[in-house]
Amino acid sequence: MKQSLRAIKKEATASALSEAAFQLALEHGMDGFVVEDVVQRAGYSRRTFANHFSCKEEAVVMAGEHFHRMEEYFEMISQLPEDTTPLEVMYQFIKMQLTEEVLRRIYQILELSKIYPSLMPHTLTLLNRLQNGAKLMLSELFGDRYPAGYNHFLAGAVCAAIVPMLDGSVHVQLPGLPSGDKEESISFDEYIDSMFTYLRDGF
């Protein structure tokens, strides 16, 4: 799972560019800045930007892609019993990765997509990449110990259950975000726990 120095540097560059684009979108809206503003804020050239992103919309959305604390996560996973299932690994992954910061960021991207439809194709790509990342993680951890397609279905089910929580389709009180007037909202932890209870027990 260790990355090469070149891969780490490439990821850091993409992260800096997407962070700059994301912050500009929050500050000025999608119509209030251009790629030149992004590269100036991040301290890179337009050519470097073009090596990573096709447009400013893609850069904004990809600010929600980067996972955090992955070394800590894999250290924790390595200490789990050998008979730990992919489902339990996904549970630990979601609990560790969906921090207040990450939830707020993906929520903001989805809200921006409602205002600026040009973001939507890239938002769908982001969600697909997050799902594929989870599937790859399960495949690397478990190899062929489970039937073909199992990791794909599991990652898809978990990611599909998370999206309604973030886009407001179900009323979940996300940490660090205003609750509004939805008195029937359940907490983030309650939603995640109930989601995995369904997955463990079947529907």
pTM (2 d.p.): 0.80
Q: Which helix (H) or strand (E) holds 172?
A: strand 172-173
Q: Which residues pair with 186 in a beta bridge?
A: 172
Q: What is the DSSP letter of 203?
A: -
- Domain 1-63 homologous superfamily, CATH: Homeodomain-like (1.10.10.60)
Average pLDDT over the chain reads: 86
Q: Which residues pair with 172 in a beta bridge?
A: 186
Q: Which pLDDT score, from 0 to 100, does residue 63 have?
A: 92
Q: What is the DSSP letter of 50?
A: H
Distance from C-alpha of 147 to C-alpha of 151, rounded to nearest angstrom: 8
Q: Which parts of 9-97 are beta strand (E)?
A: none
Distances (CA, A) of 167 to 29, 80, 83: 19, 33, 35
Query: pLDDT per residue over 126-149, tens digit each?
Result: 888 888 888 888 888 888 888 888
Extents of the domains making up the chain: 1-63, 67-203
SS3 state at 2 = coil
Query: pLDDT per residue over 54-77, tens digit each?
Result: 999 999 999 988 655 566 666 777
Distance from C-alpha of 108 to C-alpha of 115, rounded to nearest angstrom: 11
Query: pLDDT per residue over 10-50, tens digit each?
Result: 888 999 999 999 999 999 999 999 999 999 999 999 999 99
